[in-house]
Amino acid sequence: MSGLDSLYQQLILEHSRARTGADLASLPDVATGEPATGQGLTGQSHQLNPVCGDEITLRLSLGTAGDGQAVTEIHWDGEGCAISMASASILSEMAPGMSPLSFRHMIDHFRELMRSRGKLEADEELLQDAAALAGVAKYPARVKCAMLAWVAAEDALHQAEASQTAFRAL
């Protein structure tokens, strides 16, 4: 695979066009963190890539799953390059069902991978489809593209949890 093709893998190009979860704009506004009846908690984050000015707004919902909690859905709205759009799309597809702990674990690994300048190997089991983004690590200027949705999701998760604490404290 040429350098470019390993960056823009077929899966990435497809996700960049299909854009799973890119429907936030069409959803009704949610008062962040207010738990709907019987439903989970929601956190929202807006992130800007200072290199290019592209932005993403991402909403993450947290619900109960078995004994614990799990991400239930991710919706987002944003414009950006193929990398950033594919990354948001893949994340939205993978996240539902993950516990906050394993979700964070995955984000941490992804971040480390991205910052490695190509020196780390992707943990394919952990990252699944997102492992296709491993090629980005060799393009330092594009790392922020791949990270954009992930930083937003991390922050949104934090918001959701914080609102839960706030709610419990009532």
Partner 1 sequence: MTMVSTPAWGDAQVSALDDDEVRRIRNDFPVLEQEINGKPLIYLDSGATSQNPRSVLEAEQEFYEQRNSAVHRGAHHLAVEATDAFEDARATVARFVGVQDDELVWTANATAGLNLLAYSFSNASVDRAAGGAERFALKPGDEVLVTEMEHHANLIPWQELCRRTGATLKYIPLDDAGALRLEEAARLMTSRTRILAFTHTSNVLGNINPVDVLVRMAREVGALVVLDACQSAPHLPLDFKALDVDFAVFSGHKMLGPTGIGAVYGRRELLNAMPPFLTGGSMITTVTMEEARYLPAPQRFEAGTPPISQAVALAAAVNYLSETGMRRIALREAELGQRLVTGLSAIDGVRVLGPGPGEERTGLAAFDVAGVHAHDVGQYLDNLGIAVRVGHHCAQPLHRRLGLSASTRASTYLYTTSEEVDLLVEAVAQVRPYFGVTASGAAS
Would you count residue 148 as binding ligand FES (CB under 6 A)? yes
Residues that bind partner 1 (CB under 8 A): 2-4, 7-8, 13, 16-17, 48, 50-54, 79-83, 139-142, 145
DSSP string, the chain: --HHHHHS-HHHHHHHHH-TT--GGGSPP--TTPPPTT--EEEEEEEE-TTT--EEEEEEEEEEETTEEEEEEEEEEEE--HHHHHHHHHHHHH-TT--HHHHHHHHHHHHHHHHTTT-SPP-HHHHGGGGGGGGGGG-GGGHHHHHHHHHHHHHHHHHHHHHHHHHHH-
Q: Which does 17 bind (CB under 5 to 8 A by kind): partner 1, ligand FES, none?
A: partner 1
Question: Could you tell me the smallest distance in angstroms from the CB atom of residue 141 to partner 1?
Answer: 5
Interface region with ligand FES, contact rule CB under 6 A, candidates 23-31, 46-54, 65-73, 109-117 = 46-54
**List 7, 22, 44, 54, residue binding ligand FES (CB under 6 A):** 54
**List 21, 33, 40, 80, residue binding ligand FES (CB under 6 A):** 80
Would you count residue 81 as binding ligand FES (CB under 6 A)? yes
